[in-house]
Amino acid sequence: MEILVESPVIILVPPGYPMALLKERNGPRELLISLNVISLNNLSIVVHKVETPRPIIHQVYVHSLQMLGADVQKVVIDDIVNGAFHSHVYLITQEGNAEAVDTHVTDALVVAVVRGCPIFVTEEVFKKNAEDIKSGRDSLSDAEAMRILEDIDETKLTKN
């Protein structure tokens, strides 16, 4: 079952992690999706209707689909695998066929805001997310994150 959610709201979760907050339209449930710097920038541009000198890629994507006779119908966040949300952008083709495109969740949210189409979260995702939060699997502790960072071999990192 797909549950309609409100358009994303960008929030900072202490100690300052950017997140997209999705609230169930007619209910109490919420979903927090972490944003990296690029996703935060792209989502901020479209949520706050910031004028840019050139279109961002998500605007180009939606416009290109429309020029080809297709349109974005909806976005569905439909799974969580190893703590990562999975989503699909649903299109209606020029021929009237429905197609689902596997899309990174933050890109799907930006496309939905650009197009103004509804965003849904499946019941299963809300349930899995609640279970992950209860069991503490929803995020790394600061100590775990520090251990991961300490184990990085800086000599193997790519330098620009």
Confidence at residue 145, expressed as pLDDT on a 0 to 100 scale: 53
Rounded Cα distance, 63 and 55, in Å:
10
pLDDT over 90 at 135, yes or no: no
Dig out the tokens for 109 from the structure: 């949210």
**pLDDT per residue as tens digits for the range 5-61:** 999 999 988 778 899 999 999 999 999 999 999 999 999 999 999 999 999 999 999
Question: Across all residues in the chain, what is the average pLDDT?
Answer: 88
| Lowest-confidence pick of 20-34, 81-95, 137-151 | 137-151
The percent of residues in the chain predicted with pLDDT above 70, rounded, is: 84
* Crossing angle between the packed helical segments 57-67 and 105-115, to the nearest 10 degrees: 60
Dig out the tokens for 10 from the structure: 């960008």
State how far Cα 58 lies from the chain centre: 13
**Contact in structure between 74 and 115 (CB atoms under 8 Å):** no
Confidence at residue 133, expressed as pLDDT on a 0 to 100 scale: 78
- Give the list of residues 6+ apart from residue 83 with CB closer than 8 angstroms, or none: 132, 137, 138, 139
The predicted model scores a pTM of 0.82
Helix (H, G, I), strand (E, B) or coil at 75: strand
What's the average model confidence in pLDDT over 96-111? 97
Which of 1.10.287.990, 3.10.690.10, 3.40.640.10, 3.30.420.40 is the CATH number of 2-151?
3.10.690.10
Rounded Cα distance, 112 and 115, in Å:
5
Could you tell me the residue ranges of all domains in the chain? 2-151
